[in-house]
Amino acid sequence: MRIQDKVVVVTGAAGGIGRALALRFAAEGAAGVVVADLDEAGAAAVAKEIGDRAVHVQVDVASEAQVAALADTPFGPVDLFCSNAGIIGGHGLDASDQEWSSLYAVNVMAHVYAARAVVPSMVARGGGYLLNTCSAAGLISCPGDAPYAVTKAAAVAFAEWLAIHYAGKGVKVSVLCPQGVRTAMLERGVEEDHLTARAVNASGAILDPADVATSVIEGLAAERFHIFPHPEVAEYARRKAEDPDRWLAGMSHFVDSLEA
């Protein structure tokens, strides 16, 4: 997948990773970039940075109708849909039912809505690409945030299902699984001294969103299912697969050390 002359949709694009992706896709020569976010003013600012090859759309990705509308772009059919919007919860067993529902809607169902919106037309045209931001948490859990860990794991599982069923029809799928990235979400966790933020800071480098965007360009070019801006995440996932009991014991010790 090369971005040159492609039509791209990016959700959660008003800031952080989404903004970096939108700007990088434009720099790579995208024919059009749809900058979508619940924060309309933020999305408009990013689209203005890009110029005539971008439009902004206010979207609540928990609404299937609003996600479906993103497929109708002024630039033509969608070649690459980046389902990037995501939210955190911050709780464990004390997470409310509403928190679980909200995270499930944004972190899982938004990917389902995106696939429903664009996969049929991609198949009809002979190809297309889905990039789903699933976080390292989707593969190796998330200390301190049960709804986030579970919904991101579900997002990875859905992407796997899509890849299995649609690769033969020309639709490619990648999951973006970064660890620590310098975003407002992480900064808020650091300010609150949240266990999740402590875990992220203790686990490796904190990347700039632009670095993540570079990894995405490379991963899309290679059409890799897993895109790892933090290479160590691949090693963590390998250890988990090889010896789940040892991995769980190690994670438990890690969390205990953070809470000490």
**Given the residues 113, 148, 166, 236, the one annotated as active site:** 148
3-state secondary structure of 163: helix
Distance between CA atoms of residues 33 and 31, nearest Å: 7
The total of other beta-carbon atoms located within 10 Å of residue 204's CB is: 15
183 Cα distance to chain centroid: 13
Contact between 38 and 63 (Cβ < 8 Å): no
Reading the block at residue 215, the tokens are 């990894």
Residue type, 56: H
Reading the block at residue 6, the tokens are 């492609």
Residue with tokens 């609540």: 60
3-state secondary structure of 191: helix
104 is catalytic: no
Distance between CA atoms of residues 114 and 227, nearest Å: 19
Q: Helix, strand, coil shares of the chain as percentages rounded to 5?
A: 55, 15, 30
Sign of CA dihedral 197, 35, 109, 80: negative
Active site residues: 148
